[in-house]
Amino acid sequence: MKFRSWFLLTLLFLSTAVNAQIKDPVKFKFSINELGNNEYEAVLNGTIEKGWHIYSKDIPEDTGGIPTEYKVSGKNIELIGKFTETGKKHSEFSEAFGGTIVYYSDAAGFKQKFKLKDGTKPADIVAEIMYQTCDDRVCLAPNTLEFTKKLTPKGVTEIVTDEKTVAKDSLSPIVDTLEENATATKTTVATASKLDPKQLKISSIDISKPLTDCGTSTKLETNYWKILILGFIGGLIALLTPCVFPMIPLTVSFFTKGNKNPAKGKRDAFVYGFFILLIFVLLSVPFHLIDGIAGNIFNEISTNVWLNILFFVVFIFFAGSFFGYYDITLPSSIANKSSKAEEVGGMIGIFFMALTLVIVSFSCTGPILGSILGSILSDNSVDIPTVLTFALAGFGLAWAIVFGLLALFPQALQSLPKSGGWMNTVKVVLGFIELALALKFLSKADLVSKTFFIKRELFIGIWIIIAIGLVIYLFGLIRFPHDDKKPKISVGRKILGILGIGFVVYLIQGLIPAERPKLQLLSGILPPLNVSYLHDEKDGILGMHPEHDFFSAIELAKKENKPILIDFTGYGCENCRKMEEFVWSEPDILPILQNDVLIASLYVDDKEELPEDQKTKIEMGDGQVKKVKTIGDRWSLFQSVNFNNNSQPHYVLLTPDGKVINSPVSGFMDKEDFKKFLECGVNFYKNNK
């Protein structure tokens, strides 16, 4: 059966990348206008930086953008109608969203009329706006801000009462505001000697002035060459599928033999390959236009329980397609229009030939590209659009090179293997791989939701079953719909089968209790060590019991007279698991962690709601307020405002009185770098405490 392209496109646009820089391109100013007859108007005017825009409330629901919502409330007020917008409204069709988007740039205003129920009493007016800011490359996290203003009608004497000061706190640009206002408010910024769990900005923390400069500092860097190579390998695999491989000799022959001018034929073949590369790269453009989300939102989305469950279902769906139970194809009308466009001739005709190839091969390439996308989305420490561009460029480059080289050396066509059942074998093998990858997303949803149903041993056991199924298939003991009734077990299938047996043996090691973690190749994919039938989650990591609250860690560190190692981590953070399993566990690292520091592991993706008495609203300046509702909200903002960083893992060494000892480090690093970082801070503290 066939499924419309919107299925995959919907999946594509569910994506988002963590960006260490924190942006705030919209500034709001809240005011109240008197209209007469006891009527007023709550006005929120926003100034938008050049190149950025926010969506209108009228954006169509099915376009994917997030419409702006504006709410006004108060005990002594009655709203009049719905809120309205002011400003120059822009409307344009977005191919990325597949619909018309409506937005404001430069400036936007939001108005809500209301009247006082009792015109003889003052009222506290609360305005709340939820909006998303985008430019032509990225979209920032959907943001919710709250503004308050007291309205005192003319002729009414205001009775002044003591009001509780709300903590001033925010993201990077507002940290300066916090410090400037610290003297005036006195209670807005906490110190390490007197901590309030609702306070997130700690005055003693200053990352620009560590106590010592020893150790090592790291920056999160993505190896784009590696991404390109992995995409290239994916492209080569796709070439071996039944949707693509049979077209290679036909297409190359068209250019080399069907043209009276051989030189022109070869040139056209190279142009054809270039257009294939271009088309795959263009597939990443929508992500640059509408996503690549900065700040905490990608961490929020990549660890979203329901989104990960959706990916699990989608990957199972891909596996069924590879097994041959159904095909995933684009609408035939698209392929027909593309084929007709080939008749134009010249460069345009060649472009549409390349486009037709991509479209008609979608049945095989769609799941492969979807798998690449899903794998990229599961890593919240990369720039998603850029990584996706390199991956797709590698994918398209493989096709371009193959078609180009065969056009240059057409005699090599004779050495290509003949089409046959082996191509379906490639698809089925990919189907088993899809099944294995699907479990990864279900496991992440399980971890983030804290249900912990999928223990480490269960995960490994399921992968063993999948691997055994693959081995049985490769040796011809089971068949799928498109397999030959009596398949010939080639040498290649036997070799793959033997490798599969080796992988099963490798996996079995993970079921055997051991002092040191095993299965290093799967670190970050498997559930953490303490999510196990052999260990209780409460047993901690490697026998250690990190604190999960910074404020309790400070108090404990004072009692034990130890420096604090803040470990900004996440349930869905793969590099965090790799660090814990294969760096923390090293014999010359583990004793330092066990004896010389007090670990505070702060999970920025913890969805558990804070107790009501710990929920708070953080002033961001100019009357803007951000709500802190979950444990993850708290530690994510805590990391941003104190360390100007929102990547995980991120490690910071602090003294018990809250001073930064040496420069923090981020990301997965080798043992020696992490050891230098630890020993530097620990030795400095011991010598100066």
What is the 3-class SS of 242-287, one letter each residue?
A: CCCCCHHHHHHHHHHHCCCCHHHHHHHHHHHHHHHHHHHHHCCHHH
Tokens for 504, please give them: 């099963």
CB 362 within 8 Å of CB 7: no
* Phi and psi at residue 310, to the nearest 5°: -60, -45
Q: Residue 252: which pLDDT band, with cuts at 50, 70 and 90?
A: low
Position with higher pLDDT, 101 vs 563: 563
Q: Which residues contact 589 (CB under 8 A, 6 or more apart)?
A: 583, 671, 674, 675, 678
Each residue's pLDDT tens digit, 136-159? 545 555 577 888 888 888 766 554
State which of 138-147, 319-328, 388-397 shows the largest mean pLDDT. 388-397
State which of 172-181, 258-267, 292-301, 463-472 shows the largest mean pLDDT. 463-472
Q: How far apart are CA 550 and CA 527, in angstroms?
A: 25
Q: In this structure, which topology does domain 25-167 adopt according to CATH? A: Immunoglobulin-like (2.60.40)
Does 17 score more than 60 pLDDT?
no
CB 528 within 8 Å of CB 456: yes
Q: How far apart are CA 576 and CA 649, in angstroms?
A: 5
Does 79 score more than 60 pLDDT?
yes
CB 35 within 8 Å of CB 113: yes
Position with higher pLDDT, 384 vs 496: 496
Each residue's pLDDT tens digit, 486-518? 777 888 889 999 999 999 999 998 888 766 677
3-state secondary structure 513-581: CCCCCCCHHHCCCCCCCCCCCCCCHHHCECCECCECCHHHHHHHHHHHCCCEEEEEECCCCHHHHHHHH
Tell me which long-range contacts 101-104 makes (C-beta under 8 A, separation of at least 24). Answer: 101/55, 101/59, 101/60, 101/63, 101/65, 102/55, 102/56, 102/58, 102/59, 102/60, 103/53, 103/54, 103/55, 103/56, 103/59, 103/65, 103/134, 104/46, 104/48, 104/53, 104/54, 104/55, 104/56
Q: What average pLDDT does range 660-665 have in this prediction? A: 90
Whole-structure pTM value = 0.50
Instruction: Classify the C-alpha dihedral 452-453-455-460 as positive or negative.
Output: negative
Tokens for 680, please give them: 């530097």
Q: What pLDDT sits at residue 117?
A: 87
* Phi and psi at residue 594, to the nearest 5°: -75, -35
Does 101 score more than 70 pLDDT?
yes
**Above pLDDT 70, what percent of the chain?**
69
Q: What pLDDT sits at residue 512?
A: 84
Does 36 score more than 60 pLDDT?
yes
CATH 3.40.30.10 range(s) for the chain read 537-688
Q: What pLDDT sits at residue 253?
A: 65
Q: Residue 653: which pLDDT band, with cuts at 50, 70 and 90?
A: very high
Q: What pLDDT sits at residue 113?
A: 93
Q: What pLDDT sits at residue 171?
A: 40
CB 128 within 8 Å of CB 44: no
- Of 266-275, 357-366, 378-387, 624-633, least confident by mean pLDDT is 378-387
Q: Residue 359: which pLDDT band, with cuts at 50, 70 and 90?
A: confident
Position with higher pLDDT, 332 vs 550: 550
Q: What pLDDT sits at residue 152?
A: 85
Q: How far apart are CA 195 and CA 555, in angstroms?
A: 9
Position with higher pLDDT, 165 vs 204: 204
Does 41 score more than 90 pLDDT?
yes
Give how far the C-alpha of residue 84 lies from the chain's centroid of Cα atoms, to the nearest Å: 34
Does 293 score more than 50 pLDDT?
no
Pairing between strand 69-73 and 133-134?
unpaired
Position with higher pLDDT, 544 vs 328: 544
Secondary structure of residue 417 in the 3-state scheme: coil
Does 96 score more than 50 pLDDT?
no
Q: How far apart are CA 524 and CA 456, in angstroms?
A: 11
CB 99 within 8 Å of CB 286: no
- Of 80-94, 254-268, 483-497, least confident by mean pLDDT is 254-268
Does 290 score more than 60 pLDDT?
no
CB-CB neighbours of 331 under 10 Å = 14
Q: What average pLDDT does range 332-355 have in this prediction? A: 62
Q: What average pLDDT does range 446-466 have in this prediction? A: 87
Q: How far apart are CA 11 and CA 24, in angstroms?
A: 28
Q: How far apart are CA 206 and CA 191, in angstroms?
A: 12
Does 307 score more than 70 pLDDT?
yes
Position with higher pLDDT, 589 vs 270: 589
Does 570 score more than 50 pLDDT?
yes
Each residue's pLDDT tens digit, 206-241? 888 888 887 665 554 556 788 888 888 888 888 887
Tokens for 538, please give them: 């409460």
Q: How far apart are CA 65 and CA 102, in angstroms?
A: 9
Does 645 score more than 80 pLDDT?
no
Helix axes 456-474 and 491-509, enclosed angle (nearest 10): 160
**Above pLDDT 90, what percent of the chain?**
14
Give how far the C-alpha of residue 534 lies from the chain's centroid of Cα atoms, to the nearest Å: 31
Q: What average pLDDT does range 429-447 have in this prediction? A: 86
Does 3 score more than 50 pLDDT?
no
Q: What pLDDT sits at residue 12?
A: 38
Position with higher pLDDT, 623 vs 84: 84
Q: What pLDDT sits at residue 566?
A: 93
Each residue's pLDDT tens digit, 167-208? 333 343 334 433 433 333 333 345 444 455 566 778 888 888
Instruction: Classify the C-alpha dihedral 578-580-581-584 as positive or negative.
Output: positive
For domain 537-688, is the CATH number 3.40.30.10?
yes
Enumerate the β-bridge partners of residue 29: 45
Q: What average pLDDT does range 94-98 have in this prediction? A: 49
CATH 2.60.40.10 range(s) for the chain read 25-167
User: What is the side-by-side strand order in the sheet with 665-666?
Assistant: 598-603, 564-569, 650-654, 665-666
